[in-house]
């Protein structure tokens, strides 16, 4: 049996959208897949050593379940984003969902390859030292080389 | 049922029960049986899917008092 392969492009840097790439990558690796995740634009935040910029906001996110209905004008107030992030992290923890740090570490343990988009690293003036160890830096062609021969290819 | 190792996955959500199962099986011998106890209802379908895709055999699964019990035989 040949090894199955999965490629994911992670483009979002919010707390909710950070989960699908890490959950799918770690699970696929557990199922024996060879996995690469290419992080570009805001997705790069998910490779930072410090994940404190990864937040969630009710603003512009009308489907987000809220404990009490909250008018958009209130969602805009200072501190709302931090509060929503704190509440979401608390909920994730209570429900036994792994933290992003934990899932990311599990991916790396399982040999999931993380690639940071060099173009966006330069665009946002990030330093290579901002990122966790064990990742690679590359461009679209690097991604295509692997993605061109995969069983599953996702854009998140 | 006889088993060589038990994994307590109570309170864990997707995908942790599967990831821990994989990890537990990794250092067991072929033919050994792992017992997994989970409280995640999603793990019922997921454990079967894990078995189907990895070739490990799901010998049985049952539910009692909100806990799901699986016996997985290592390939």
How confident is the prediction along chain A (156 residues), in pLDDT tens digits per residue?
689 999 999 999 999 999 999 999 999 999 999 999 999 999 999 999 999 999 999 898 889 888 888 889 989 999 999 999 999 999 999 999 999 999 999 999 999 999 999 999 999 999 999 999 999 999 999 999 999 999 999 999
Residues of A in contact with B18 (CB under 8 A): 27, 30
CA distance to partner chain A, nearest, from residue B2 (Å): 25
- State both tokens at B8: 């307590």
- Mark yes or no for CB contact A31/B53 under 8 Å: yes
B14 is catalytic: yes
pLDDT at residue B70, as a whole number: 97
| Domain covering A5-55+99-155, topology | Hypothetical Protein Ychn; Chain: A, (3.40.1260)
- Mark yes or no for CB contact B22/A30 under 8 Å: yes
Domains of chain A by residue range:
5-55+99-155
CA distance to partner chain B, nearest, from residue A106 (Å): 8
* ipTM of the complex model: 0.84
pLDDT at residue A66, as a whole number: 86
- C-alpha to C-alpha distance for B55 and B74, rounded to whole angstroms: 8
| Domain covering B5-73, topology | Translation Initiation Factor IF3 (3.30.110)
Can you tell me whether residue A121 is helix, strand or coil? helix
How is chain B split among helix, strand and coil, in percent rounded to 5? 30, 35, 35
pLDDT at residue A1, as a whole number: 62
pLDDT at residue A146, as a whole number: 94
Domains of chain B by residue range:
5-73
Of B12, B14, B54, the CB nearest to A32: B54
Percent of chain B whose predicted confidence (pLDDT) is above 70: 100
Active-site position among B14, B22, B60, B75: B14
Q: What is the mean pLDDT of each run of 10 residues along chain B (75 residues)?
A: 96 94 96 97 94 96 95 97
| B residues 3-62 lying closer than 8 A (beta carbon) to A | 11-16, 18-19, 21-22, 39-40, 50, 53-54
Residues of B in contact with A106 (CB under 8 A): 19
pLDDT at residue A67, as a whole number: 83
- State both tokens at B50: 């894990």
């Amino acid at each position: 049996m040949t090894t199955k392969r999965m490629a994911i492009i992670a483009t979002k840097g919010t707390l909710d959208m950070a989960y699908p790439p890490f959950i799918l990558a770690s699970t696929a690796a557990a199922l024996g897949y060879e996995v690469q995740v290419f992080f570009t634009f805001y997705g790069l935040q998910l490779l930072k050593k410090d994940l404190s910029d990864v937040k969630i906001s009710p603003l512009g996110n009308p489907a987000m379940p809220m404990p009490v209905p909250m008018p958009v004008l209130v969602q805009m107030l200072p501190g709302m984003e931090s509060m929503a992030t704190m509440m979401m992290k608390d909920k994730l923890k209570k429900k036994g969902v792994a933290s992003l740090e934990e899932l990311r570490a599990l991916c790396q343990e399982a040999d999931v390859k993380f690639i940071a988009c060099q173009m966006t690293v330069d665009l946002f003036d990030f330093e290579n030292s901002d990122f966790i160890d064990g990742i690679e830096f590359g461009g679209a062609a690097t991604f295509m080389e692997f993605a061109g021969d995969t069983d599953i290819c996702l854009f998140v | 049922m006889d088993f060589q190792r038990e994994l307590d996955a109570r309170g864990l959500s997707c995908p942790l029960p599967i990831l821990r199962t994989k990890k537990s099986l990794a250092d067991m011998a072929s033919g050994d049986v792992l017992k997994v106890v989970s409280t995640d209802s999603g793990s019922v379908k997921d454990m079967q899917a894990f078995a189907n895709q990895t070739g490990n055999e799901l010998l049985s699964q049952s539910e009692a008092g909100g806990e799901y019990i699986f016996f997985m035989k290592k390939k």
